[in-house]
Each structure stands twice: as C-alpha cells, then as structure tokens.
Amino acid sequence: MHPSYSIAYRRAVAITALAVIAVAVPQHRVTAQGTLTGVEQARRDSVRRPYVAADIAFMSGMIAHHAQAVKMAGWAESHGASKSLQIYAGRVAMGQSAEIGLMQTWLADRNQPVPAADARGMKMTMGGTERYMMMPGMLTDAQMAQLDSARGVDFDRLFLTFMIQHHRGAISMVEQLFNTPAAGQDEIVFKFANDVQADQTTEIDRMEQMLAALPPAPSNSSKSQ
C-alpha cells in the first residue's frame, strides 16, 4: 500500500473522530401488535454493536470510493466498450450502488453525517475551506478525463487498468480498517468489509484476464507512422 494512502486514511479517521458525538439509540418501532418485526429488531440490535471512529471513516470514505466506480462504469455503453465490458460494468454499477445505500443507512442509523455519493471524493471542511479527500486507489481528475476521452478498445483497456487500481485501493482500505484497534467489530461493517476484500480480489483477477485478452496497445512508433 502506498504510504500516502495510509496517511490519508489515518487523517480521515482522526477528523471523523473529532466529529463523533454521543449516539442516541433510535426509538423502538412497533407493529400494530406492539412487537418489533424481525427486520426492525435486527437493525436495532445492530446499532447496539460496538463501533469506533475508524468504522465511521471507513463507511463514509467507501461511499465516495464506490461513487467513482459507479461513474466509471456508467460510461461503458456511451464510450463504445465491448459487450463483455458493458455487462461487467453494469454489474459493478448495480452492486456498488446498492452498497452505497447500505453504507448510508448504516451511518444514518447511528446518527452520523451521511455523505452524498460524490465521485470526486469525500467532502470535508477544514479551516472553513471545503475540499474533497480522495480515498486510496481513486482516480485523479486527469485519469478520469483520460478515461472519459477514450473510446472502443482504448476505453476497455483504460477502464480495466484504472478499475484494477481502484479495486486495489478499496482492498487497502479494508486492510487499514482491520489493522486499527477495535475497528471492524460491528457486524455489518465486518461483513461488508470482508465482502469488499473477497469480491474485489476476485474481480481484479477477472479484469487482469480481460485486459490480457485485449489486442496490444499501439506503440508510440506505430502511431507516428
């Protein structure tokens, strides 16, 4: 993991810790018979599980991380991606959009600020100035512009290259979470983080195979002829 990733993530955890306040337990919601439904009981029990500032930072930061992946995936059809890549991108967009909803609900249930799903990064205010903090693996503005300008097989190649980078960053966020004392013990955070690590590791292998199957990129010499 690049040192700057770890530093940036720890900074996000520290900033989030300053914002954590006493969390009020949500009021009981009852059915007409006066008892909690199974889903409501599960959510109420989950809120009682231990969680720390690092869990909040992880869920908050991963919303922005997923938002960028969804934006990238949304370009596949309009940018002339191959059919196989369009199918894969569609699954990425669908799956990560659903996970954004899960993370936002998790934060809301704990009376924490709920970040918007912004592909530019996690919006933060420091010294009265708003800025966007990029999570590990997220594409820079220049990389996003490069991907947006590509078409056809060039788009496929760049998308796969950049999404592999993106996925590796997400895995590093999970590793950072589990290396933080007392973090990752909340049931939902634990399951979600493990799913991210397992699923995105598998997807990296698949994308590397897709990338290897593409025709080689033209060399600079061939382009000039």
40 within domain boundaries: no
Calculate the CA dihedral of residues 167, 168, 170, 176 and round it to 10 degrees.
170
39 within domain boundaries: no
CA distances from 135 to 2, 84, 176, 205 (A): 12, 28, 12, 22
Residue 132, pLDDT above cutoff 50: yes
The total of structural domains in the chain comes to 1
73 within domain boundaries: yes
Q: What SS3 class is residue 143?
A: helix
pLDDT digits (tens, 9 = 90+) for 195-225: 999 999 999 999 999 999 999 887 764 443 3
pLDDT at 23: 40
Per cent of the chain over pLDDT 70 is: 76
CA distances from 176 to 170, 188, 193 (A): 10, 17, 11
Q: Give me the mean pLDDT over the 156-166 stretch.
A: 98
Residue 33, pLDDT above cutoff 70: no
E strands in the chain: 122-126, 129-133
Range of the domain at 171: 3-19+50-213
Residue 7, pLDDT above cutoff 90: no
32 within domain boundaries: no
pLDDT at 130: 83
195 within domain boundaries: yes
Q: What is the pTM of this model?
A: 0.77
Kindly report the backbone phi and psi dihedral angles of residue 43, in degrees, each rounded to the nearest multiple of 5, phi listed first.
-65, -40
pLDDT at 220: 60
pLDDT digits (tens, 9 = 90+) for 83-94: 999 999 999 999
25 within domain boundaries: no
Q: Give me the mean pLDDT over the 28-41 stretch.
A: 54
Residue 29, pLDDT above cutoff 60: no
140 within domain boundaries: yes
pLDDT at 44: 62
pLDDT at 40: 64
Closest to 137 in 3D by CA, of 61, 189, 75, 198: 61
The CATH number linked to 14 is: 1.20.1260.10
Question: In this structure, which amino acid lies at residue 102?
Answer: L
| 1 Cβ contact partners less than 8 Å away, ≥ 6 residues apart | 136, 172, 175, 176
pLDDT at 170: 98
Is the dihedral angle over the CA atoms 91, 96, 97, 98 positive or is it negative?
positive
41 within domain boundaries: no
